[in-house]
Amino acid sequence: MSQISVIIPTYNRGETIKESAKSVLDQTFKDLELIIVDDASSDDTESVVKSIGDERIIYNKLPENKGAAGARNEGVKLAKGKFIAFHDSDDIWIPDKLEKQIAFIETHPEYDMVYGKVRIHSDKGSFEFPNDAVEGDFEGELYPWLLKRNTIDTPTMFIRKDAFEETGGFDGTLRCLEDWEFALRFSKSHKIGFLDEVLLDSYKSEDGVSRNKAAYYETRCKMIAIHKESMISLGIFDEVVMDVFSRAEKSEILPQVQKLLMTYLKT
């Protein structure tokens, strides 16, 4: 049985999946299994994965598209490792990512998840996140902080499998921000550690879900409604709402977002 189960959800990423998988298989920590969940791709993803020829790979093609959250959950069902790590099919891990994270979590038993920094590359340049411009709590009991802002990128998550299962996995009904929503639920009952190092390079594609403004604001308003009472008790409800409204105003969709939030708050 492998110590770590790495899960890659992929959809029509035949041109990038091989390099992404290689950055997992070439890790300095070798005791792992790599579960590639093909989310009903229509390109050559299957043949590319099968050409890699590593016995640690478990390939599972879904009969219908479930989205990234659903695909990750399917991968966890197959996982046999004590720890779970998530990777994306167009990202590249640094070679000793897993070695650093398992060493950290095994020497910090109070944490059930550890995450780190990501170096993000886009058409606007490259930057690290989180960085010095982000002021907040990066580790410990993060629920109050995560109600306001998310600093945990899915491919940097390294989680005890039993804690992941206790939390209930990712919400497959969400169109985006499923990582933030999961981190919120997880942080309500589990402490999270932070490794202050860049763990991967992330390449943002033009068709990324994060660029879908409608999906972003729909999910954000839903999250505010779900966690409303906690935000009120912590005295941050107005702050969070105004931040969302400010972003919506810059996108010139403030009236629509205001109406959407009121709808969710009434349900």
Q: According to the model, what pLDDT value does residue 124 have?
A: 83
Total-model pTM: 0.92
Q: According to the model, what pLDDT value does residue 9 have?
A: 95
Tokens of 52: 């890699």
Residue 16 predicted with pLDDT over 80? yes
28 burial (CB, 10 Å; 0-12 / 13-18 / 19+) is exposed
**Separation CA 182–CA 90 (nearest Å):** 21
Distance of CA 95 to CAs 29, 58, 100, 207, Å? 9, 21, 10, 27
Q: According to the model, what pLDDT value does residue 210 have?
A: 43
Q: Which of 188, 189, 4, 174 is nearest to 87 (CA)?
A: 4
Q: 195-223, pLDDT tens digit by residue?
A: 999 999 998 755 544 457 888 999 999 99
Q: According to the model, what pLDDT value does residue 123 have?
A: 84
With the CA atoms of 246, 183, 67 and 63 taken in that order, what torsion angle do they form, in degrees rounded to the nearest 10? -170
What are the phi and psi torsion angles at 196 (to 5°)?
Answer: -80, 60
**Mean pLDDT, to the nearest integer, of 146-174?**
95
Q: According to the model, what pLDDT value does residue 212 have?
A: 79
**Separation CA 110–CA 191 (nearest Å):** 7
**Mean pLDDT, to the nearest integer, of 91-114?**
97
The per-residue pLDDT of the chain, averaged, comes to 93
In contact, 176 and 219? CB cutoff 8 Å: yes
**DSSP result, 90-127:** TEEE-TTHHHHHHHHHHS-TT-SEEEEEEEEEETTEEE
CA 187 to chain CA mean position, Å: 14
Distance of CA 15 to CAs 9, 12, 54, 123, Å? 14, 8, 18, 19
**Mean pLDDT, to the nearest integer, of 224-240?**
96
Q: According to the model, what pLDDT value does residue 71 have?
A: 96
Q: According to the model, what pLDDT value does residue 156 have?
A: 96
Q: According to the model, what pLDDT value does residue 90 have?
A: 83
Residues 6 or more apart whose CB falls under 8 angstroms from that of 223 comprise 177, 180, 181, 184
Q: 148-160, pLDDT tens digit by residue?
A: 999 999 999 999 9
Q: According to the model, what pLDDT value does residue 205 have?
A: 59
Q: Which of 190, 195, 140, 143 is nearest to 163 (CA)?
A: 190
Q: According to the model, what pLDDT value does residue 206 have?
A: 52
**Separation CA 180–CA 243 (nearest Å):** 16
**Separation CA 177–CA 150 (nearest Å):** 9
Tell me the residue type at 59: Y
Alpha helix ranges (H) inside the chain? 17-25, 45-52, 67-78, 97-106, 143-146, 161-167, 178-187, 213-226, 228-234, 237-250, 254-266
Residue 76 predicted with pLDDT over 60? yes
Q: According to the model, what pLDDT value does residue 136 have?
A: 76
Q: 47-65, pLDDT tens digit by residue?
A: 999 999 999 999 999 999 9
Q: Which of 148, 18, 143 is nearest to 90 (CA)?
A: 18
**Mean pLDDT, to the nearest integer, of 18-34?**
96
Residue 81 predicted with pLDDT over 70? yes
